[in-house]
Amino acid sequence: MSRTLISNVRILDPVSGFDGPGHVLIDGGKIGAVLAADAPLDMAVDQHIDAAGGWLVPGAVDLAARFREPGHTAKADFASETRAAFAGGITRFALPPDTHPVLDTPAMIVRVLRISKAARSPWVMPLGALTQGLAGTALAEMSALKTAGCVGLSQAMAPLDDPLLARRALEYAQGLGMTVHIQPLDARIANGGCAHEGATATRLGLSPIPVAAEVAAMRFWISLVEDTGARLHFGRLSTARGAELVATAQARDLPISADVAAHQLFLTDAALDGFDPAAHLMPPLRSEADRLALREAVKAGVIEAICSDHQPHEADAKRNPFPLTAAGASGLELLWPLTLKWMTEDGVEPLTAVQRVTSTPARRLGLNPPVISAGQPADLALIRPETWTLDPKQLLSRGRNTPLAGMRFTHRVAACWHLGVARHRLSD
C-alpha cells in the first residue's frame, strides 16, 4: 500500500466549505489524513510532494463525455480518452447512451462497464437510453437499465417528438427515482441547421438554428414535468432564454436543473468566421448576449454544473465543407482550465467554481459528492497556477478538434489520483 504526502497545498472542498492551507496523506486507495498547516509531518511515506502554491481539489465529475467506444473507435476509445480524462483531472464521467450499439439493454451496460474496467478508466456512470435504439418510438426497459448500473436516462441528441411517449417516459422514470437528462433541441425548428441564427450565419450562408429550437423543446419538457413531477436535467444549454426558463421553473419549485458546456462560456458564433470546422458544435455557439447570460446563470447557480461535452473526432471528420463536418469538440483536458478561467474573469469564489464541476454534478447523477476527508476515496486533482497556451497537438485525447486553439489559460492540472494511484503527472 503506497503512501503519498501532499504538503503545503491549498485545499478546496466544497462539501465541507473548507478553503485553506494544509497537508493531505494518501494511504492506499483512500485519503489517510487531512492535516492542518502547522501539523508535524514526521511520518513515513513513499512519496512526498511539496505542492506549495497549488490547489488540491476533488476529481471532477463530468456530466457529458463521449469516449467513442463501443462503435466509433476510429475516433477514440477508452484507452486514449482515459489518459485525457486523468490529464484533465476528471475521475468520474457520465456516458451518454448514443454509443453503437445504443446503451438500451443491460447487456450493453455490462459491456461498457467491462471495457471501462479493462482500461482502468475514470468511474463511468452510464446514462441508459430513454427509448429503444434512441428511435423515439418505444420506451427502453428502464428498470432493467437501472439494475444494470445506469444512473439516469437520456435521449442524447436524438429527437423524441411523441408527447404521450415522453410523458410516459417521465412517469416511469419518476417511479424508479431516476433523473431524465435532455439536451433540448426541437429538430423540426432546427431543420437540419448548423449555425446560430444570426448575422454570422447569414453572412456565411449557413443554415440557421433559431433560439426557439432550444426554447420550444424546453417548454415541451417543462410542461410534462409540471404534470408528472419527474426530475429533469437540461444538458448543454446555449441560450439566454433557456437559462431564463430554468430560473422560472426553479422559482416554481419544479425539479429541473441544467448544465452548460465549458466552451459556451467563452465562444460565440463569431468563431465560425472563415468556416472554421472546429467551431461546428451542437448546440451551436450563440450570440455574445447569450454567452454573457450563461456566465451569469452559472455564477448564480441557476445553471448548476459545467461539463466538457467531450466529442472527439478523427481529422477527416472536420475536413469537409462546414455544414458537412461532424459537430463537437474535444474537451476533457480543458474542463478545469476553462472553469478556473471563468472563475478568474468573473470574480467567482474558488469554492463555487470547484463546486460546479465536482459536488453538484455528482449529486445530479445520484452519487455521494466527492469529499476531501479521511477515509474517503483518494480521487483528487492537483492544480497549479501557470500561464500556458493551448496547442491542440499537445492534447492526449485522440480527438484534437477544438475551437480554442491559441487560448491562454492561468491554471493547469498538474496531477490526478484515482483511488490513490497517480494516473497523471504533468511531467509524465
User: Residue 93 belongs to what H/E stretch?
Assistant: strand 90-95
Please say if 309 is a catalytic residue: yes
For 198-204, the CB contacts below 8 A with 24+ separation are 198/269, 198/286, 198/287, 200/269, 200/270, 200/272, 200/273, 201/269, 201/272, 204/272, 204/273, 204/275, 204/322
CA angle 243, 282, 113 (to 5 degrees): 100
In the set 309, 346, 379, 391, the catalytic residue is 309
Match 456516458 to its residue by C-alpha cell.
95
> Residue 146 corresponds to which amino acid?
K
Three-state SS across 211-236?
HHHHHHHHHHHHHHHHHHCCCEEECC
> Residue 133 corresponds to which amino acid?
G
Q: Select from 380, 415, 378, 382 the least CA-distant residue to 30.
A: 378
User: Residue 414 belongs to what H/E stretch?
Assistant: strand 408-418
Distance (Å, whole) CA 367 – CA 62 = 12
Pairing of strands 3-13, 47-50: parallel
Distance (Å, whole) CA 370 – CA 359 = 6
Residues 6 or more apart whose CB falls under 8 angstroms from that of 161 comprise 136, 187, 188
Cα dihedral value 7, 12, 18, 19, nearest 10: 80
Distance (Å, whole) CA 411 – CA 187 = 38
- 3-state SS class at 193: coil
Active site residues per annotation: 309
